[in-house]
Amino acid sequence: MITELLQMNGYGLYVWSSFLFTFVSFTTLYVITKIQYTKERKKFMSKYGALDSKKAEVARSQTINKEILSSSQSI
């Protein structure tokens, strides 16, 4: 029964190699995206992390920062 599942009437090699390739590609994409997000978040927090109230209002008014900041976070 297990060999039938693995062989899939002769198409098993193609199916399982395609599945493995897709899984490795998605995992790699996730890891790269997470690393880039962490870097950008560190840069953002180093620049805007400890602002006084006046500078924080200016940062909140910028459109790019509005996209980055969620409504629940406060600077």
pLDDT of the chain along its 75 residues, tens only?
A: 788 877 888 888 899 999 999 999 999 999 999 999 999 989 888 877 766 777 777 766 776 666 666 554 555
Is residue 44 one of the residues assigned to a domain?
yes
Q: What are phi and psi of 33, to 5 degrees?
A: -65, -40
Q: Which amino acid is at 4?
A: E
> What confidence score (pLDDT) does residue 65 get?
62
Residue 10 falls within a domain, yes or no? yes
Q: State which residues form the domain around 53.
A: 2-68
Quick check: is 74 in a domain? no
Q: Is residue 73 part of a domain?
A: no
Does some domain include residue 46?
yes
pTM: 0.57
Q: How far is CA 38 from CA 32, 34, 43, 44, 45, in A?
A: 10, 6, 9, 10, 10
Q: Is residue 36 part of a domain?
A: yes
Q: For residue 60, what are the CA distances in angstroms to 6, 19, 47?
A: 55, 44, 13
Look at residues 63, 58, 56, 42 and name the one whose alpha carbon lies nearest to residue 73. 56
Q: Is 75 contained in some domain?
A: no
Domain count, the chain: 1
